[in-house]
Amino acid sequence: MSFSNLKLIEPLLKALNDEGYTTPTPIQEQSIPIVLARKDLLGCAQTGTGKTAAFAIPLLQLLCEDAAGIKETTGVRSLRPIKALILTPTRELAIQIDESFAAYGKYTGMKHLVIFGGVPQHSQVQALQRGIDILVATPGRLLDLIDQRHISLRDIQFFVLDEADRMLDMGFVHDVKKIITRLPQKRQTLFFSATMPPEIQKLANTILVNPSKVEVTPASTTAETIQQSMYFVERQDKRSLLLHVLNTHHIPTALVFARTKHGADKIAQGLVRAGIRAEAIHGNKSQNARQRALLNFKSRQTRILVATDIAARGIDIDELTHVINYELPNVPETYVHRIGRTGRAGASGIALSFCDAEEKEFLRDIEKLIGRTVPVVEDHPHVMHASLSYRAPVAAGSGRSGSGGSGGSGRNGSSGSGRNNGSGGDRRSSGGERRERPPQQRNGGVSGNGNRRNPAPDNQRNDQAQRPGQAPVRNGEVREKIGIEQMEQRDLEAKRKAPVQQEQPPAESRKRPEVKRPRPNPEFKPLEPLRVPQQQTADNPSGSALPFPVNPLNQMSGDEKW
């Protein structure tokens, strides 16, 4: 089937011919007739199958049909309201959709605009005042301009919610619900998502009315044209493995995914130091820096683009052959979106993933989601230790010495060493089960590497008395006694080696000395008061000497005192 069989108008067919599009993809072939019939649509397909064209092409035709009776002379162009709203989670995806509308509708005369945060809004407001037909927006900037009364949604006839599952992951669900409440009840709604978890299905049920469902492939599956490979590697060896892969494989350009923004910067800096042209793109970068890095990558000036999941969701690059998961995502659906950056529109692609010991659980979830096992590459110089490998075979050990592999290895991964030897192996087997050892193997045994101190078999006891009259001693008690003696010996050696500290004087000697007062002289006698002879007065009629002088004022009359 060709696009001409979908009953598209001539301006659209001419633009598609200029882009080199002749045959629609399955999602486009099924979605375009439903949208042209003005029905609600629930589309589910993996990333890279052409969902943008599946709604952009029919929306342009419907807008042309509605605008056929409107003449330029019948009204001012700037007063024409916005008719179509496309809501996306990221700036890059919004820019990509706007570029698609520009390519498909260049002969239709439809005006379109993209708005997003992180840049000044002045130019966006001016474009809105000049009048547009199609608005592509991110939730945050759209709500800001609505609150400032620069945008009105009361005339929206077509509403498209793209990448709905990513809206949920990024926490935009509440903003989306606010925007939906401002839309008119009578409208046509198109709902597209790469995955369909229960939360997204519940949201779709609230905004769609009797929708037609298009599901090209089962939910959360990867395209068959993508060749997937898995490298088991230690975390500290990932950078060396990345350089090895880039130097030994023919990789002209590659998109490398990191889990964090800081990690993306470190990977890009390491590649630059190794002489490989690389740039990082993430949410902390300014919009101009992100666009510049993206343009350099598309023009092949930059060989490696390191990105986080949110920043790379809208990256659409033709003929991108390789995607490298430097770190596996903790959300299995994110893996589907990552490798969907390659193998787009039926093209072939290669997806390489690095998995360390802590990411094995993520790999199990990914393989459970996509329903297939990712092939493992073992021919590389940084192979993970066999005891940490995800799908390492469990070799059946025998008796005391045990065998290699993750099942027969000891605690430190060495063959037949330590406490967990024998056929039972380590408690953490490759399947995640806890295996019990036979009773005769639980209390030790002859060590394969000579680390055990008691060479006696585990199923025997030292039943012979150590001394006459002494009770039998178990092997474990002997080992405990030896351990205590070793600890005491270490303590004595530590005391000998410890520096000698000068003893401090006792607390009593550090007190301030008391001041001793002189003892009173026993021969000292106080002086008797001086007796002054007095005349006979009313107070002293005998005229005897008094122990203290009499105040002469008391002997004066009132006139004499004054």
Quote the CA–CA distance of 369 and 131 in Å, as a whole number: 45
The pLDDT score that the predictor gives to residue 524 is 64
Q: Residue 17 in contact with residue 103, Cβ under 8 Å?
A: no
The answer as to whether 501 is a domain residue is no
130 located within any domain: yes
pLDDT score, position 74: 40
**Quick one: 96 and 191 in the same domain?**
yes
Mean model confidence pLDDT for the chain: 75
Structurally, how many domains does the chain consist of?
A: 3
Residue 30 shares a structural domain with residue 156: yes
- The answer to whether residue 152 sits within a structural domain is yes
Q: What is the DSSP letter of 448?
A: S
Compute φ and ψ for 125, nearest 5 degrees: -65, -40
DSSP 215-271: ESS-TT---TTEEEEEEE--GGGHHHHHHHHHHHS--S-EEEE-SSHHHHHHHHHHH
For residues 166 and 302, membership in a common domain is answered with no
In a domain, 439, yes or no: yes
Average pLDDT over residues 46-54: 79
Give CA angle at 91 (282, 211), nearest 5°.
Answer: 125
Q: Of the ranges 90-94, 490-494, 523-527, 534-538, which is most confident?
A: 90-94
pLDDT at 388: 52
Q: What are the tens digits of pLDDT across the range 440-461?
A: 444 444 444 444 444 444 444 4
Residues 136 and 90 in one domain: yes
Residue recorded with tokens 């008719």: 83
Residues 251 and 354 occupy one common structural domain: yes
Residues 237 and 285 in one domain: yes
- What pLDDT shows up at residue 188? 96
Backbone angles phi, psi at 477, to 5 degrees: -70, -35
Most confident of the ranges 98-107, 375-384, 452-461, 542-551: 98-107
Contact 241, 310 (CB under 8 A): no
Token pair listed for 186: 């009578």
Cα distance between residue 281 and residue 266, in whole Å: 12
pLDDT value for 48: 65
Residue 547 maps to a domain: no
Cα–Cα distance, 207 to 40 (Å, whole number): 9
Please, which pLDDT band fits residue 173 given cuts at 50, 70 and 90? confident
Pairing of strands 226-232, 349-355: parallel
Last residue of a domain, one of 361, 382, 403: 382
Which residue, among 13, 124, 111, 6, has the nearest Cα to 67 in the 3D structure? Answer: 111
Which carries the bigger pLDDT value, residue 559 or residue 48? 48
Domain finish residue from 353, 382, 411:
382
279, two tokens = 């740039």
Least Cα distance to 30 among 20, 44, 17 occurs for: 44
Please report whether residue 469 resides in a domain.
Answer: no
Its pTM stands at 0.53
pLDDT band, very low/low/confident/very high, at 64 (cuts 50, 70, 90): very high
Domain holding 316: CATH number?
3.40.50.300
Q: In terms of domains, do 86 and 162 share one?
A: yes
Same domain, 234 and 211: no
Query: Are 422 and 276 found together in one domain?
Result: no
Residue 282 within a domain: yes
24/517: higher pLDDT: 24
Q: Flag the least confident range among 176-180, 393-397, 511-515.
A: 393-397
Domain shared by 56 and 138, yes or no: yes
The pLDDT value recorded for residue 437 is: 43
pLDDT band at 510 (very low <50, low <70, confident <90, very high): low
C-alpha distances (whole Å) from 203 to each of 200, 395, 452 are: 5, 49, 62
The answer to whether residues 354 and 423 belong to one domain is: no
Do the domain assignments include residue 220? Answer: no
Give backbone dihedrals phi and psi of 173, rounded to 5 degrees, phi first: -65, -40
340 and 298 in a common domain: yes
Query: Containing domain of residue 127, as a range?
Result: 3-68+77-215
Q: Of 408, 425, 457, which marks where a domain is finished? A: 457
pLDDT in tens, 256-279: 999 888 999 999 999 999 999 999
Place 111 in a pLDDT band, splitting at 50, 70 and 90. very high
